[in-house]
Chains A and B, each alone.
Chain A
Amino acid sequence: MHRVLHSFANPFYFRQALPDIWSGFTINVQMMLIAEVLVLVFALVLAIVRGLPGRGAKPFRGLAIVYTDFFRGTPLTLVAFAFILGIPGLDYPGISHYSNEVYGIAALTVVYTAYVTEVYRAGIESVHGSQRMAARSLGLSYGHTMRYVVLPQAIRRVVPPLLNDFIGLQKDTAIIGAIGVIEAAAQANNFASSYFNFTGFLVAAVFFIYLTIPLARYTDHIIKERELRERATAT
C-alpha cells in the first residue's frame, strides 16, 4: 500500500507536477470549449437535415445517416491519428498548416457531432406528433414549426444526455494528448518518464474531475430552474 501511495499519490511530486500539468490542462479546456460549441451547432444542423420531410430531401437524409454511422462507429483515436498525422502530410495550402491542437479539435468535433446528432434526434422524436399537428394547423410552415415548437421542447429534454456526452468529450481531449498535443495527460506522462513517479496522473485526474463536477451540478440547476419556472407563475 505504501508503495502504491508513494508511486501514485506522493505529496511532494504532486506539488512538483502541478504547474506543468495545469498549463497542459488549459489546452484541454480550450479544445473542449471550442469543440463543444462546434458540436452543438453542427449536430443540430445534421439532426434537422436527418428529419427533413419529402422525397427531395432524401439524398441529404442519406448523407446525414452515412455520416453518423461512420463516425459513431470509428474510434476517436483513429480519427485523431488520421487528422493530426494525415492532414499535414497532404500539404494542401489552407488546410495542412495548422497546429496539432486545431486538428485535434477537428477530430473531436467530427466524432462527437455524430453522437450528439443522435441525441438531438431522439429529443426531436420525443416531441409528440400532436404538437407538430397543432402548429401546422395554425398555418405555421415546417421551418417555423421546428424552430418555435419542436426544437425548444426537444433541446430542453436532451440537456442531461448532452451534458453526459460533453463529459465524455472533455475526457477524450486526453486522447488528442496521446497523439501530439501537449495537454494535461501528455504532461503527466512526461512527468512520469522524468521522475519515475506517477503522481502526475493523479494531478491530471483531479483536474478533469474538478471540471466535470461543476458541469454536472450546473445542469441539474438548469433543469430544476426550468421546471420551477414552468410550474410557477411566470410574472
Chain B
Amino acid sequence: MSANGHFVAIENVTKRFGDLEVLTHVSLEVEEHGVVCLIGASGSGKSTLLRCVNLLERVDEGTIVVDGETITNGKVDVNALRRKIGIVFQAYNLFPHMTVAQNVMLAPRKVRGLSQSEARSRAWGLLDRIGLLDKADEFPDRLSGGQQQRVAIARALAMEPKLMLLDEITSALDPQLVSEVLNLVRELAQSGMTMIIATHEMSFAREVSDKICFLDGGVIREQGPPDQIFSNPREARTREFLARVIEAGRM
C-alpha cells in the first residue's frame, strides 16, 4: 500500500522561500500507527515540513509519498489528499463565525457530503470524546485556549483522517492548559493514529513518540528512538539543543 511499507516517506526534500533555504535534503519515514515528533528551535523548519506533507507548501526538490501516493509530482488531487490528512495549528484557527458544532460539522458536510444529521451525530460523538459536548453551541471566543485547541483537533478528526499533523499545538497555550490538550493527543496516539508532531514539549515527545527527529537550520541532524535521542544523543548539535532545553526548564 505504500512506498517500501512506510505510511509517509519524505525523501530528499528541499524547500526554499526565495533565497532562503528552509529545508535541506530532508528524509524521514513514518510508519502506519507510528508517532514521530519533530523537535528543534523555532525556525528550524518543523512547521514548513508539516505543511509540505499536506501541500500547504510546495516542495522545491525531493518527493513525499503519503499512503502509497506520490504527492509532490503536481498531479495529485490536493483536496482529496487533504481529506485524509488532518492538521492542527498553533493558533487553533477555528472559524469564529461558527459555533463549535458548526466548526466540526462543516467539512464532513461539504467535503464528505454527510447529511446534517450524520454530521451532527459525528460531531456530537467527537465533542463528547474531547469532553466539550456542553460547549457545542458556543462560539469559539467563549472557550479557553485549551478548549479551542481540543475543538480544532475534533474538527480535524471529523474528517476521519489517516494521518494527523500537529504543528506546535500547545505553544500558544497557558501552561495550565497544556496538559488537557496533550492528554487528548496521548489518547489519539494510543488509539493508533499516525501522527507527525512538531513540539517543544520534550517530555511529552519522549513519552508519546516512536521516533524523534531533530531539525536544525532546515537539516535533520539526528533521528532515532526517543530514549536514544534524549539519553544518548550522537550529534553535538542535538546535545547542545537538549542542554538548552533543560536549562530553560522545559523538560
By a beta-carbon cutoff of 8 Å, the part of chain A in contact with chain B is 130-131, 133-141, 144, 148-149, 152-153, 156, 229-235
Let me know if B80 is at the binding interface, CB within 8 A.
Answer: yes
Bound state CA distance, A156 and B97, in angstroms?
Answer: 9
Asked whether A148 lies within 8 Å of B142 as measured between CB atoms, the reply is: no
Taking the closest CB of chain A, its distance from the CB of B126, in whole angstroms, is 14
Asked whether B137 lies within 8 Å of A139 as measured between CB atoms, the reply is: no
Asked whether A139 lies within 8 Å of B111 as measured between CB atoms, the reply is: yes
In the complex, per-residue mask of B203-232: 1 if CB is within 8 Å of any chain A CB, else 0: 000000000000000000000000000000
Residues of B within 8 A of A235 (CB): 137
Bound state CA distance, A108 and B159, in angstroms?
Answer: 46
Asked whether A137 and B139 contact (CB < 8 A) given A131-B95, A148-B106, the answer is no
Taking the closest CB of chain A, its distance from the CB of B135, in whole angstroms, is 9
Q: DSSP class of A's interface residues: helix, strand, loop or mixed?
A: helix
Residues of A within 8 A of B155 (CB): 138
Asked whether A138 lies within 8 Å of B95 as measured between CB atoms, the reply is: no
Taking the closest CB of chain A, its distance from the CB of B32, in whole angstroms, is 21
In the complex, per-residue mask of B122-143: 1 if CB is within 8 Å of any chain A CB, else 0: 0000000000000001110110
Residues of B within 8 A of A135 (CB): 95
- Measured as residues with beta carbon below 8 angstroms from the partner, the interface class of chain B is 20 to 34
7 A-B pairs closest in CB distance: A134-B93, A138-B107, A139-B83, A139-B82, A234-B137, A139-B111, A235-B137
Taking the closest CB of chain B, its distance from the CB of A157, in whole angstroms, is 10
Asked whether B93 lies within 8 Å of A133 as measured between CB atoms, the reply is: yes
Let me know if B24 is at the binding interface, CB within 8 A.
Answer: no
Asked whether B141 lies within 8 Å of A130 as measured between CB atoms, the reply is: no
Asked whether A138 lies within 8 Å of B137 as measured between CB atoms, the reply is: no
Residues of A within 8 A of B107 (CB): 138-140
Asked whether B95 lies within 8 Å of A234 as measured between CB atoms, the reply is: no
Bound state CA distance, A230 and B91, in angstroms?
Answer: 19
Let me know if B87 is at the binding interface, CB within 8 A.
Answer: yes
Residues of A within 8 A of B142 (CB): 231-233
Asked whether B139 lies within 8 Å of A138 as measured between CB atoms, the reply is: no
Let me know if B249 is at the binding interface, CB within 8 A.
Answer: no
Residues of A within 8 A of B144 (CB): none
Chain B CB count within 10 A is highest, among A131, A139, A148, A235, for A139
Of all chain A residues, which has the CB nearest B152?
A134
Bound state CA distance, A135 and B106, in angstroms?
Answer: 9
A-B contact pairs, 13 of them (CB 8 A): A130-B89, A130-B91, A131-B95, A137-B87, A139-B79, A139-B159, A140-B106, A141-B79, A149-B95, A153-B95, A230-B96, A230-B97, A234-B139
Residues of A within 8 A of B137 (CB): 233-235
Taking the closest CB of chain A, its distance from the CB of B114, in whole angstroms, is 13
Bound state CA distance, A149 and B99, in angstroms?
Answer: 12
Of all chain B residues, which has the CB nearest A138?
B107
Among B68-96, those with CB < 8 Å from A are 79-80, 82-83, 85-87, 89, 91, 93-96
Bound state CA distance, A229 and B139, in angstroms?
Answer: 9
Asked whether B111 lies within 8 Å of A140 as measured between CB atoms, the reply is: yes
In the complex, per-residue mask of B95-128: 1 if CB is within 8 Å of any chain A CB, else 0: 1110100000011001100000000000000000
Of all chain A residues, which has the CB nearest B107?
A138
Taking the closest CB of chain A, its distance from the CB of B193, in whole angstroms, is 16
Of all chain A residues, which has the CB nearest B139?
A230
Of all chain B residues, which has the CB nearest A226?
B97
Contact of B138 among A130, A153, A234 (CB under 8 A): A234
Contact of A136 among B80, B82, B94 (CB under 8 A): B82
Taking the closest CB of chain B, its distance from the CB of A224, in whole angstroms, is 16
Residues of A within 8 A of B86 (CB): 137-138
Of all chain B residues, which has the CB nearest A130?
B93
Of all chain A residues, which has the CB nearest B92?
A134
Residues of A within 8 A of B94 (CB): 134
Residues of A within 8 A of B159 (CB): 138-139
Asked whether A231 lies within 8 Å of B141 as measured between CB atoms, the reply is: yes
Taking the closest CB of chain A, its distance from the CB of B127, in whole angstroms, is 14
Let me know if B54 is at the binding interface, CB within 8 A.
Answer: yes
Taking the closest CB of chain B, its distance from the CB of A203, in whole angstroms, is 43
Bound state CA distance, A229 and B56, in angstroms?
Answer: 33
